[in-house]
Structure 1
Amino acid sequence: MTGYQDYLIVLSPPDSIKKKIKRYKDDSAAIIGEYDSHYSKGHISIQQWPRKKPVWIDAMMPKLERELLSLPPLVVNIKGFDFFHHEDNPTIYARMDQTALTAIWYKQLKRFFSGGSFVPHITIARSIPAPAFKKLWPYLSKQEWNEEFKIDKLTILRRDTIGHDKSYKIYRELPFNRRLDFYNYTQSKVKTPVTTEKPVNTQQFSLF
């Protein structure tokens, strides 16, 4: 493989959550008609690595895999739906409950990646026209969804930068450390002053 690839780093929820996301996407299509993100699988986006040579990414994987074993699986809660305004094209998403403990976990994960802050979410309908939003939001805003689930690995997807097939395929799935407990780990970070934390390797996977 000699061409460039686009990579997408995500947290993939369990199948039970994906099935519910699919159901809400199908309901949305029934209300507003087909839309671009209808068939994309539910995930929490972490970072994009556009236009990279596979040899660069392949070389990084052993180190990243080791680093991720310092993290426990993520325990997170879906709490209903929300939306980003995005001017004339809002995006509706399943809202992740943001707690002090999940914030600590995401902060620890982001040590291994460049980029600023982000809002963890699972997209239902991305960048839909305002008239479609006005039809769909009254339905989704009334749906009650409160469910806890666990994510035990980081998923890296990829696709050809230039090509007809724009769908992402799984490249690697890197596990978190299942021997670590999410609550014990994050609570220990709350109690530990930032100045006394042992620094992790400062090299980030920014890939220029």
Structure 2
Amino acid sequence: MRNYQVQGNLFVQESRLCEFLVVFQPPKIILDQVQIYKEEFDQLFGSFNSRVCATNVAVCDFLLFEHRTWDVYSLFRQRLESLPPFSVEISGFDSISANNSIHLRIEVNEYYQSLLNELDITRKMMYLRKNYFQRNNPHITVVRGIPDEVFPDAASVFLHRNFQASFKIEQLQVLKFDLISRKYKHYGYLPLTGEHYAQAV
């Protein structure tokens, strides 16, 4: 859960803020391979959040007053329906030192950028000006929260490996953070139903 900058009285029911996350899910064959990498990491370096980090790919997240939820979701759904399904490519491993994580890198192509642009236009139409964050570098997390003393060795093992794959994105999933369970739960889908399938080159 992100630490947002929030103003206003959160204890007023009609003004309750909710956190949303928009993601897409890689196919099972890729998720199975990610699970193998997680298990290998555990064997080599120990278990440091390697099994619990999400395998979906985050596209954007934002805060929204609860009474506006359906209107915003409906407009996102309406506008994204015109975009075609498209494919993306995984091009090896990468890392983020800010949170000591290792991930599979997804190449940003023109179709993914068009998706981000459409999301950005739509959120501006709904006046989501603050606390909206896009993922310009999409990735599939393998392990995160690696201790500082382990991270350099772990990165040297995985970053030199080759992993190439592509998969098709036909819909996005909207997740809503549940304050009771402290977990994201399914809210709805944003299908991409444009006529022409856009294949990554």
Q: CA offset at residue 50 of structure 1?
A: 4.0
**Residues 40 and 139 of structure 1, relative CA distance in 2, 3 Å threshold:** same
Structure 2 residue matching 1:181: 3-state secondary structure: coil
**Aligned residue number for residue 187 of structure 2:** 171
CA contact (8 A) 1:9 1:47 kept: yes
Q: CA offset at residue 146 of structure 1?
A: 0.4
Task: Give the 4+ runs in structure 1 shifted more than 6 A.
Answer: none
- Aligned pairs, number: 179
**Aligned residue number for residue 160 of structure 2:** 142
Any idea what the Cα deviations from partners look like across 1:104-129, whole Å, max 9, x if unmatched? Answer: 44434443345466211112222422
Q: Please give the alpha-carbon distance, in whole angstroms, between the structure 2 residues aligned to 1:5 and 1:104.
A: 26
What aligned pairs does 1:187-206 form with structure 2 within 5 A after superposition? none
Q: Please give the alpha-carbon distance, in whole angstroms, between the structure 2 residues aligned to 1:105 and 1:61.
A: 15
**Aligned residue number for residue 13 of structure 1:** 26
Q: Please give the alpha-carbon distance, in whole angstroms, between the structure 2 residues aligned to 1:60 and 1:100.
A: 25
Specify every segment of 5 or more residues in structure 2 that has no aligned partner in the other structure, as ranges.
1-12, 124-131
Instruction: Provide the TM-score with structure 1 as the length reference.
Output: 0.72
Q: Say if 2:95 is the partner of 1:95.
A: no
Q: Please give the alpha-carbon distance, in whole angstroms, between the structure 1 residues aligned to 2:50 and 2:122.
A: 28
**Residues 109 and 167 of structure 1, relative CA distance in 2, 3 Å threshold:** same
- 2:121 equivalent among 93, 111, 126: 111
Q: CA offset at residue 152 of structure 1?
A: 0.8
**Aligned residue number for residue 44 of structure 1:** 57
CA contact (8 A) 1:8 1:158 kept: yes
Q: CA offset at residue 51 of structure 1?
A: 6.7
**Residues 33 and 108 of structure 1, relative CA distance in 2, 3 Å threshold:** same
CA contact (8 A) 2:76 2:119 kept: no
AA in 2 matched with 1:94: L
**Aligned residue number for residue 182 of structure 1:** 198
CA contact (8 A) 1:69 1:176 kept: yes
Specify every segment of 5 or more residues in structure 1 that has no aligned partner in the other structure, as ranges.
188-208
How much is the aligned-residue C-alpha RMSD, in angstroms?
Answer: 2.7
Q: Say if 2:136 is the partner of 1:126.
A: no
Q: Identity over the aligned pairs, expressed in percent?
A: 23
